[in-house]
Structures are given as structure tokens and as C-alpha cells.
Copies of this chain bind each other. A is one copy, B any other.
Amino acid sequence: MKFGGTSMAGTERIRRVAGIVRRQQAAGHEVAVVVSAMAGETDRLVNFCREANPLYDPAEYDVVVASGEQVTAGLLALTLQAMGCKARSWLGWQLPIQTDDAHAKARIGTIDCPEMLASMAAGEIAVIPGFQGRTDGNRVTTLGRGGSDTSAVAVAAAIKADRCDIYTDVDGVYTTDPRIVAKARKLKNVTYEEMLELASVGSKVLQTRSVSLAMKEGVRVQVLSSFIDEDAPAADTLPGTMIVGDEELEGSDMERQLITGIAADKNEAKVTLTGIADKPGAVAAIFGPLAAANINVDMIIQNIAHDTGETDVTFTVPLADLPRAEALIAGQKDKIGYTATITDSKVSKISVVGVGMRSHAGVAATMFSALADRGINIQAISTSEIKVSVLIDEDETELAVRVLHTAYGLDGE
């Protein structure tokens, strides 16, 4: 079981979490719980680090920020004890959760925890701070923001858990954002790959890394809400969303929709370079430096050359990387040979996602015509095996999502 910062924010909420955990144990399960820091605490600690040293050493940053999860782990253990459960905390260095030494963005290596397994078998609930680990050299590491989801999946894999329940402030994964589409439906199942595509285009239910890890390790992940009725039945009968492999899905869900969900992402920016010489090497001169700077370019369109022998190239980058991308391109102006840069951050990427489209043609065509019918102009397109994305004017985001939700027959009651 994993609980996020909102669920752990203060004594009363931790007591609520303890109640949910206790019910799982009472239902006959051995339970390990991974917890985040109290909401706001990690920000507070990060700010201290920035004030101390704007160019902070990530090793010492990790020492400071890992403390937030240590506090909530101890407090949840105490709260469970107050309810009569046996419980103890297992810190990253105690378990241990071994990681590489990429401080502030460490990757988990091995979790070998016979001691904890013995303690769980003896009826003790294990409480594990998320987000943290230790290097082979015994230094504290953290996994990067949102890393507690990844901790939970990694622990679930290490102890061969039957299920990894991620409690969040939503009660599952929806066909789209219910704040945009009132008729959005909660999904009973999604596949790892669908979840990855949905997560990467702005459906922030789970950290992408944790989904990749779950897919790699075959961990069955359930997303469900921690703000449930205290008297509700134990979580295995609760309607969260299960994230599972293709094979499990095919057997269980015959009436599955072609399209699983629709995601919108406003955190992209469009860049157009005009007057580029239509010759080999020009495009490489643009995207080489961006790739080297770790800027993730998504959609790319190269127009047909004008009569002048020049062309325009349009692409998208994450909004946060736009200033760096502009600077890099300006620095390469001579090498690339372009006339002007036009940027537009008022764009939105709309994606339809579903493993069903592997075996069905026409998904993209449905998308284009549905949007065209409402006069929504498509500025760029990209596709993967289970996803079609288009770039549109940001102001049309909600309209486009609603139109597509209806077009693919996803609307619920």
C-alpha cells in the first residue's frame, strides 16, 4: 500500500490511513506500507537547500529532503501501534533499498529484505519511507520528485506482493479528466502501456517511472482513493483501477473499448524555424544540440520546400525547456542557417490512447474528422503503436477533449 503526501498531511489524516491499513491486515493480508512526506514538507526542505546553496551538492540535498518521509514513516508506525497493530518503520538504509549514486534522481538497484519479510510474517506491519535509498557507499539517496510511487512498486516487486495499491486523491484512472468531461468513466483496467501513454501526456495519477517498473517487474498496481468511507469494505472489493499486463486484460475484459482514454497536456511549446535551407544536415543541426541537452522533442513537421529552396521546420518541446531550447538554437544560428524563430506556448497536445488500436484501422481518421467537424485546426501530429496525438490551440483544449470523448463512445451515464 502506498499513500501520498496529501493523505499523510497531519495527525488526523495519518490516523485515517492507519485505519485503512489496519482493515487490510484484518482481512488477512500481510501488509507493507510506503509513505510520502507530509504535503508541503518536501518543498519546505528543498527551499532550505536552495537558500543554503543555490548550486547544491545533490548528496547533501538528499540528506535533507529524505527526512520528510522518515518522519511520516515513524508517525504511521506509532499510529498503527496506538490502534493495537504491531508495526515498525524500515528506513531506506535499514531495509536496505540499494540505489545507484545518481543523487536526487537515483535508480533503485536491489531490495533484499529477509528481515522485513520475517517481521511481516510474524504479523508486524512494515512502514517504509518512500523516495529514499542508500548507495553502496552508505550515502543517502532520493529518487526524484514523486519517487514514492516507484519505491512502492519496487518494494512490491521485491517482496513478491500480490498487489500494489497506490492510494491517491483520485479514486482511479478515468477515460479523461472528469473536471473537463462530466461523463468521464472510471476504468476498471488499463494496461501498463496505456497508463504510460496517459501518464506521459498529462494524466498525473502515477509517476511514469513507477509504471515502467511495474511493467518490467509484472507488479499488479491498483490506483484507488485514500478518501474513502472509513466503514467501506476492505480495498480488494473497492472499485479502483487495476493496471495490468495485456495478457491479463484480454482474458477478463471482452467488452473493452477501442480507445481507453483521452489526455490533454498544456505543458508543450511549439517552435518554428523559418527560412531553412532545404539541404542535408540542416535538420540534424537543429535536433542534435537539443538531444545533447536532454530536451525531449516530440512532434516534428518539415514543410515542403518553397520555390526559394527554403523550408520551415516546426517541433514541440516541453514548456519548461523552451528558454533553454531557444538559447541553444540561437547559439547554432550560423550552423543551422535559418531566418527567424517563432515560438508559441499557447498550444495543447491532445492524445487518444488504447491498446485496441493495434488491431483496428481508422482511429486517427476518426480523430481528425471529429476535430475538423468542430473547426479545430490541427497544427501537428504524432503517433505511437497505441496513441495518436495532435497539437491544437490551447483555448480549444476542453472542447477537443469533449468532442473526442463522445466520438469514441466513451461517455458514461
| Stoichiometry (number of copies) | 2
**Closest chain B CB from A81 CB (angstroms):** 5
Within 8 A of B (CB), among A40-80: 45, 48-49, 51-57, 59-64, 66-68, 70-71, 73-79
A71–B81 touching, CB < 8 Å: no
Give bound CA distance, A288 to B81, whole Å. Answer: 35
Q: How many residues of A contact B (CB 8 A)?
A: 41
Q: Let me know if A94 is at the binding interface, CB within 8 A.
A: yes
- Nearest residue (CB) in B for A77 is B60
A49–B75 touching, CB < 8 Å: yes
A79-B53, A82-B53 known; A74+B89 contact, CB < 8 A = no
- Nearest residue (CB) in B for A52 is B78
Give bound CA distance, A54 to B11, whole Å. Answer: 12
Give bound CA distance, A49 to B71, whole Å. Answer: 9
**Closest chain B CB from A382 CB (angstroms):** 41
B94–A48 touching, CB < 8 Å: no
A81–B57 touching, CB < 8 Å: yes
Q: Which of A48, A56, A73, A74 gathers most chain B CB within 10 Å?
A: A74
A60-B89, A88-B60 known; A48+B75 contact, CB < 8 A = yes
A76 / chain B contacts, CB cutoff of 8 Å: 52
A61 / chain B contacts, CB cutoff of 8 Å: 74, 78
A64–B74 touching, CB < 8 Å: yes
Beyond A52-B79, A56-B81, A70-B70, 13 additional pairs, beta carbon < 8 A:
A11-B48, A45-B71, A52-B78, A53-B79, A53-B81, A53-B82, A55-B82, A57-B81, A60-B77, A60-B88, A60-B89, A64-B71, A67-B71
Chain A residues close to B by CB (< 8 Å): 11, 14-15, 45, 48-49, 51-57, 59-64, 66-68, 70-71, 73-79, 81-82, 88-89, 91, 93-94, 138-140
* A/B interface sample: 27 pairs, CB < 8 A: A11-B51, A45-B71, A49-B74, A49-B75, A49-B78, A52-B76, A52-B79, A53-B78, A53-B81, A53-B82, A56-B78, A56-B81, A57-B77, A60-B78, A61-B74, A62-B74, A63-B73, A63-B74, A66-B70, A67-B67, A67-B68, A67-B70, A67-B71, A70-B70, A91-B140, A93-B93, A94-B138
